[in-house]
Structure formats: C-alpha cells, structure tokens
Structure 1
C-alpha cells in the first residue's frame, strides 16, 4: 500500500464508525424495519389464528382442544355488543326448548329444560354478519345451516348428554345430517356455578384441558368441559373426517347452571343445503339494504 493509502486509512475508519453510529441511532421506533440487524427473527402471525376486526381489541385466537372428536374454541369470536344484540333479539320470544322425538317431531322433554328462540339470518345486519363469519370459520356455506337458536338457562336448567346428529336415514335426506355444531357463549358464568359444556367422550390433546379446578360436578366426571366465556365459540364436528359417519365421541351436554343465567347461540350445519337459494339471496339483499341505510344515517348524522 502506498503512502497515500496509509494517509487515508484513519479517515476511512472514522467515516465507517460515524456511519455505524448514525445507523444504530436511527433505529429507534423504526427498529421493526431492520429485522435481523441484531440477530432477531421476524415475528409471524400465529398459524391458524384469524383476527376479526370487530374483536381485534380482545385479541381473539383459536384453540384446538380435541381431535377425537374434532373440537376447537374460538376465543373472542363475537364482540360483547354482538352477544348483547343476539340476546336482545331473542328475549321477547323465548319459549320452552324442544327435543326431536322418536317420531322425528319436536317435543318437550325434561332432558332439556332451557328456553330458546329461533333467529333468521336476515333479521338484522349484525346477525347476517355473524352468519357469514361462521361460514368463513367452518368453510361450510351459509345455506347449509339451520336458523340460529338462542338459548337461556336459568337456575338448575340443563340439557342432558345427547348427540346433535340424527343418524340413520337422515344422511340420505335432501338436507343431509348435521355435520358440525357451533356453540356461541353470550354470557359469562362464574367458576363453580355450572353451565359448562361437557364432552364426556372427548380425548383432550392437553392434560391441562382435563383439569377440574373450579368445575361443577357435572363437568368433572370425564372427558373435556368448556367454561362459558362471553364472546367465545365452540366448534365440534359430529362426523368422522374420513367419511360422513357419525362420531359418537361428539356426545355433549349443557351442565346445570346454579348461579345467574347462561345464554348461548347454537348453529347446526348440515352436509347439504338446508335453506333455499332464494332465501339466501333475499337475506343478502336485505343485509345490503340495511347496511346502506345505516351508512346513510351515519353520514347524515356526521354532517349535522
């Protein structure tokens, strides 16, 4: 190296040091744009987690609780306002809940003592939005679902162990059998006050899911029990994944509620279309009309 190169060496080193200092000091709040400069790894969205904008503030996430049967909890599936909306719509028309009798007809039975109301998907914009969200989560069309059923459980009211599928010849019917159930919790229930959803034949994927701490006697026997948490939703499949064969491990019950009230909303989804395509089109049109009216009213209000 010549004398000129030696003379420039201190200057070059000084410039490199200055550049490094400037680069480090400029990280500040923009550090996320320089992932890897200190060896860190970029944080990815957790796999399988869908964050809906209406519940984003509650940090929703999906938890797998069993593969036998397939069962998942979507924490924060509904906003608190949506829960209250469903309860308000159903409140004035609650009637004693029915069961399907041996003859295939609805009947009153002491195995199910709650009160319930059926809600059509086109009644309000909020209900239609929830129906759409259910379809997106389950990957099953809206048309395959029965009308949503909102249930209220008061003191000691319950629904004994049962299956949602019909079995037998129902698989060959025009609507098919119930392949999936989405159970949404519209209220909280205190720990130890009952109201859990019990899946006594389910195999938990985690031993912690089998913990009976704070559970009622009904939920502590075996299998898995899910505590009611306002805004959460439980999805379980009534058929085996390899074929449309009923999965007996989907047996479930609503444990008695001993303090306060428990509110839920249930969506039963079939293997084939349950609703006529014209009904779906009418519901979509009504939802769009109500949304347009709401946006127009909001725009008019903002101008005043």
Structure 2
C-alpha cells in the first residue's frame, strides 16, 4: 500500500490535471501534447503576469508537467555564477548494486548546492516545494549540470533499485529539472517510453527528440516528472534522457563552448537528511522487478539475509555458482550481470 501522503498527493495532482482540462479552452495555443493551466503568480517573486507563466500537462498518466518561466533570468544567472567554479565530471550509480562510477553514459559536469545555501536558493526550494506539494526537507540539494556540445545522458531512471538508495528518506519520488539558459538546437529532455504527440515533434526538435515526448531547453522553464506511481510502483514512463547539445548560447567561460545549464532536484518520499545534525531514516519500498535484469531472481526466500551475513563469499557454490550451474542467490549477491543480459538503464547520482 502506498504511504498516506502519496495518496493525498495523487488526489491533488489529479485535481491539477482536472483544472488543466477545464482551462484548456482559455488557452487555445496549448499544443496537442497537453493541456494548459495558469501558473499561480504567487509561486514567483516579482512575477510579471505579462510573461504568462503557465503550467502545461505534458502527459497525464505519467504526471509530467512543464512550468514555463518558473525561474526568472536573474535567478538563472545567479545559479550559474554560484556553480561554475565548482563543476566536476558527473557520475552515475548502478541501480542494481549502488556502486558509483564515472561512465560515458553520462558526460556532463555538475555540482550540488547546499539546502538553503543563500536567500535566492532558499526561495527557489520553497517554490519547488509549493509546486510539488512536498516539504523542502524531502529534497536533495539542488544539483547544477552543464552539458557541452555533443555531451548527453542516455536513458535512465532516477528511481533506485538497491537498498542504499532508500536508506535516507526512502526512494526518489519525483524530479524537477529546470533549464538555466536557452539552446538553439539539441539538449532536449526526452521520455523514450512515451511516443511524441502525433508521432513526430517536428523539425524544430533534433533527431534525438523527434519521435518521443520531449521538452526543449528554454531559460527558466522547469519539467516535473514522477519516478513512483501513487501505488508505490516504479513509473516506467519516467525513463528519460538528455539529447546532445548541437547549437547553443556561448557563455563567457575561460574557453568558448556551447552548452546547456540545468538545475535538478530529486525529491524523496520522506525527509532527506543533510549535514551532521540530521539522522538519515530508511523508508521501505514496494518490491520491484529489476528492470535492468528482469530475468535475475533468487531461488530461496532466505537469500537476502544470507547475503547480508557474508554467505556470498563463504558459500560461493550455493549462493552464486557458475554459468554451467547457477547458484540460488545470484540476485542478492549482486551478480546478475555475470549471468543475465543487461536490459535496463543507470540512474544518476
């Protein structure tokens, strides 16, 4: 059963979608990709109604929303200025094992901001909390990403499949991705498991984004998508990727590059502890089929505790076995990759 707050959130999001349907006639310019709804100007400081902030439902079933102009230009520029001196090569974590590494599946650079790092960051965190209906404390620190020309992030879930992923505030429930600069071509966020409305997004999208649901990077716009269904299961439609940047705005960096800057926040089902004064609290999740190795299963209900007690090392023949004689606890021992074909994706850190 889903946690009570998840049920309440599902009801509120359903109400938002209903409002969007009711308002669709008032915004005839809304595309077939979704329904338009007016964004509450109170979400933004110094909001200019003439700029027409708007929330658009991009996909109702998957609960994917676009908030146009969630951040103003000065906020975007402030975040870039804070982050740029501290950017490092982004990493990935294998969703089955929890092991972190640098991988060519993700070629961007990034860094994390502390929660409430300054008044502007605190204001943005409050705005995200108000939009998502989730407490500020459930969110990880805002991550700033920079994709240079040709860089991309292949399809992945933000959902964690390993135990370590739920040890601090439970699993990631939703993601808010905000663009900090405009890009002329490429750099789209795509959802490969969702076809493009009408089958084709048109020539204004790069080839990477033509046939699937996709969002073009526009300064200040934010995309909200959910990694978990209201029932507690993985939302498979949340599979997403970042297309390569082809043409963009040049930033006054030490070297002249073409890139897209993005601000990302992962929001957990419970409080995400930050700093030495907060104690992480694990929140159990509904058992999932591992989308990376769906055929990999334990053959004994005791495999998990056995693995925790060191039996994967002490009793290799029974627990893991060989390809000729596979063992009984391959999944709990984290050896699926040695026996089964990889069919999934990696999740970002």
Fold equivalence (TM over 0.5): yes
Tell me how far 1:211 sits from its aligned partner: 1.9
Q: Which residue of 2 aligns with 1:151?
A: 145
Is 2:71 the counterpart of 1:78? yes
Q: Deviations over 1:215-260 (max 9, x none)?
A: 111111x32010000000000011113x111111100000001222
Is 2:152 the counterpart of 1:164? no
Tell me, what secondary structure is at the counterpart of 1:55?
coil
Q: Which residue of 2 aligns with 1:199?
A: 191
Tell me, what secondary structure is at the counterpart of 1:147?
coil
Tell me how far 1:115 sits from its aligned partner: 0.4
How many residue pairs get aligned? The number is 231
Tell me how far 1:170 sits from its aligned partner: 6.0
Q: Which residue of 2 aligns with 1:273?
A: 271
**Residues 171 and 275 of structure 1: CA distance in aligned 2, closer, same or farther (over 3 Å):** closer
Q: Which residue of 2 aligns with 1:254?
A: 242
Question: What RMSD over aligned residues (CA atoms) do the two structures have, in Å?
Answer: 2.4
Distance across 2 between alignment mates of 1:47 and 1:75: 11
Is 2:66 the counterpart of 1:66? no
Is 2:94 the counterpart of 1:94? no
Aligned 8 A contact 2:160 2:166 in 1: no
Structure 2 unpaired stretches of 5+ = 1-25, 28-35, 248-257, 279-349
Q: Which fold has the larger relative contact order, with Cα–Cα distance below 8 Å and residues 6 or more apart in sequence? A: 1
Taking structure 1 as the reference length, the TM-score comes to 0.70
Q: Deviations over 1:165-206 (max 9, x none)?
A: 01354686341111100000000000xx210001111256x5
**Residues 137 and 187 of structure 1: CA distance in aligned 2, closer, same or farther (over 3 Å):** same
Is 2:217 the counterpart of 1:219? no
Q: Which residue of 2 aligns with 1:234?
A: 223
**Residues 124 and 239 of structure 1: CA distance in aligned 2, closer, same or farther (over 3 Å):** same
Of Structure 1 and Structure 2, the greater helix share is in 1
Aligned 8 A contact 2:151 2:245 in 1: yes
Taking structure 2 as the reference length, the TM-score comes to 0.62
Is 2:204 the counterpart of 1:184? no
Tell me how far 1:261 sits from its aligned partner: 1.1
Distance across 2 between alignment mates of 1:167 and 1:67: 25
Aligned 8 A contact 2:38 2:53 in 1: no
